[in-house]
Amino acid sequence: MLSPKEKELYDSVGKRIKATIAHGDVFIGHCTEFTDAYDNEPEEASITLRDPEKNGKPFPGLIELFLNEIKSIEVLD
């Protein structure tokens, strides 16, 4: 069973989101994937964003954000 925070990550898949991470960087992009802790190394849930913006600048490719580094998530559409 997913924790409330993991459920928030899971519900972000397929949506454009704004993720603020612990040290203040902001990523805006399309969430393409959720990986639960059991299927991830280290054992931490994560989401993947495709071609996000990092602090308003293009960040080409994929980025994986882990549960422990995500401060907040906002669904944009």
Q: List the CATH number of the domain containing 43.
A: 2.30.30.100
**Which pTM was predicted?**
0.92
Query: What does DSSP assign to residue 55?
Result: T
The mean pLDDT of 17-45, rounded to a whole number, is: 95
Res 36 pLDDT > 90: yes
* Domain total in the chain: 1
* Percent of the chain clearing pLDDT 90 (strictly above): 91
Q: 32: domain range?
A: 4-75
Structure tokens given for 63: 């980025």
Res 42 pLDDT > 90: no
Report CA-CA distances (Å) from 55 to 34, 36, 67.
Answer: 22, 26, 19
36-42 — which CB contacts under 8 Å span 24+ positions?
A: 36/2, 36/6, 37/6, 37/67
Cα 60 to Cα 58: distance, rounded to the nearest angstrom: 6
Work out the end-to-end distance of the chain between its first and last CA atoms, rounded to an integer number of angstroms: 26
